[in-house]
Amino acid sequence: MLKRNGRAIRQHWSIENQEHGVLDVTFNEDLCRIRSLNSPRNWTVIRRMSLNAVNQETTLKRSLRQKRKRAAMNDEYIMLLLKSFCQD
């Protein structure tokens, strides 16, 4: 029973660490200085939604960071991201 609980706990933290790593590398989340009231939670939700939108868009074969930069510079691409996020 202890081994099973240990595996479950390690699996949970593995998933948590992988997601945090992606958010930190892609969005520089650790450098964010938003600290007051509900702002940190609100920005976390926005970052995760953005990450999901970028992950769902498959026409551009680039890294997540490159897709984010393209979305910042190209209105047509950001509309494509938003459309792919709104599907399903």
Give residue 61's Cα distance to chain centre: 17
What are the sequence ranges of the domains in the chain? 2-86
- pTM check: above 0.75: no
What SS3 string covers the chain? CHHHHHHHHHHHHHHHHHHHHHHHHHHCHHHCCCCCCCHHHHHHHHHHHHHHHHHHCCCCCCCHHHHHHHHHHCHHHHHHHHHHHHCC
CA nearest 53: which of 64, 42, 44, 43?
Answer: 64
pLDDT digits (tens, 9 = 90+) for 50-75: 888 888 888 888 888 888 889 989 99
Report pLDDT for 88: 57
